[in-house]
Each structure stands twice: as structure tokens, then as C-alpha cells.
Amino acid sequence: MLSELCLPLGMVRNDVSKMDELIKERIRLPKGSALFHLGDKTEAVYGIRLGTIKTQLEDASGQVQITGFLLPGEILGMDGLLNNTHTSHAIALEDSEVCVIRLEELDRLSTHFPVLQQQFRRLMSKEINRSHQLVMSLGALRSEQRLAAFLLSLSNRLSALGYSPNEFVLRMSREEIGNYLGLTLETVSRLFSRFAREGLLHIHQREVHILDMQALRQLSGSDCG
């Protein structure tokens, strides 16, 4: 459960038991419900235990930009640490559950567990890298490269959780994928059909089966071989 934060590398068993204080609070989120909204006061960060959550921005006119899809073991709420105010909305894409790490508890326990501070910095670095990858995708990659890179990212992250890297269910709609990647719904649908036609993957509704991982890597530009 939330292994990257709740069970930091190098922490001894006795310290792990003490860390239970940090993660005893959980929140269940029905599909479509919000964990927090833009402008809410930041009182905690959240680790996804079950489910999938999207983060999105919204301007005064109601225009929405999806900024991320978070999976189990990943952290939400760090956008609000600077000014103690959340700068995005977080919405469950399916029935989900999060661990609540209250900031005052985090500060208190961090003084006793220096390894926790190190791990938290590592998690923040991962969030920054994910943002950099999105900017690169939107600014430099062709539409087919964006979708291929997105599918590979999901595959890698699910594999790290112990799930199959080749077969998975998309918890987000094609419209949401398009919004995240800066593509239209029509373009995303056309590309999925093209990938299936070329034998890269098989897709049925939201079920994806990657048939040729190497070809998908080459298409995305992430294959250095």
C-alpha cells in the first residue's frame, strides 16, 4: 500500500510499524467524485491505494485541461504545497481509495525518519519529470508519437505495480486521452484504428492488448536501439 511513500527504501521494520500513524486515514471516492478542487486549502497529500484519478485545470470560461492520470502508489496534492492551496482538481475515474497523509503528521514524522524526507523529495522529482514529459509531448511529438508514448507510459507504470504490461483497461475515455495529449477525439480514434490495422495492438472498447511493443517504442521515438 503506497509502497513508495509508506514503506521507504532502507526503513527498518520497527520504523515501518511507526509509519502506520501516517497512513491510518483513508478516503473512498466513488467514480466521478472529487478528492479536492482548485482553490481548496491544502491540508494533506494523498497516495492512491486503489483506482485511478485524473488531475485537471479549469479556466474562468470553463475550459478544461487534463494534466495527469494517477495510478496506485502515486501521489496527489503536491501542487498545493507552495501556497497551501490546490492548483488543480482531482477527480476519480473509477471507484478509488486514497491514503491521507496530513501535512502536520508528515512534518512531525519526517524529523524522526530522515529517509522519509529523502523519499518524498524523490517523489516530487518524479512529478516534475512527468510534467516535463508532457510538455515535450505536446511541443515536439507528432500525434501518433504522442499516443504511442502515452500507451507505453501506462504500460510501464502498470508493470511496475505487478500488472501485465501488454494487456490493460483504459480507465479514461478517448476524449480524455485527447484532451491530455492535445489531440481531438477524432484523431485519437483514428490513431487507435491505425495502430490496430498495423498490428501494433488490439483494442476492444477500453481493453488494450499491445501486440508489438518494440514497434510501438520505435513509433514513439523512445527506442534508442
Summarised one tens digit per residue, pLDDT across range 16-34 is 666 666 677 899 999 999 9
Work out the pLDDT band at 223, boundaries 50, 70, 90.
low
pTM of the shown model: 0.82
Mean pLDDT calculated for residue range 67-94 = 89
Whether pLDDT at 135 is above 70 = no
Report all structural domains of the chain as residue ranges with CATH numbers, in order of start.
3-136 (2.60.120.10), 142-220 (1.10.10.10)
Q: How confident is the model at residue 131 (pLDDT cuts 50, 70, 90)?
A: low
Q: What is the pLDDT of residue 162?
A: 85
Q: Distance between CA 154 and CA 49 in Å, rounded?
A: 17
Parallel, antiparallel or unpaired: strands 167-169 and 201-204: unpaired
Q: How deeply is 216 buried, as exposed, middle or buried, from its count of CB atoms within 10 A (0-12, 13-18, 19+)?
A: buried
32-43 pLDDT, tens per residue? 999 999 999 999
Mean pLDDT of 132-146: 74
Comparing 51 with 59, the larger pLDDT belongs to 51
Average pLDDT over residues 129-138: 64
Q: Which residue did the predictor score with more confidence, 115 or 157?
A: 157
What mean pLDDT is predicted for residues 204-220? 94
Which residues 6+ apart lie within 8 Å of 212 measured at CB? 199, 200, 201
- Average pLDDT value for the chain: 84
Q: Which grid cell is 215?
A: 514497434
Where is average pLDDT lowest: 24-38, 46-60, 121-135, 181-195?
121-135
- Reported as type and span, the H/E element at residue 129 is helix 114-140
Mean pLDDT (whole number) for 163-175: 96
> What was the pLDDT predicted at 9?
45
pLDDT surpassing 50 at residue 5? no
Question: Average pLDDT, stretch 104-111?
Answer: 75
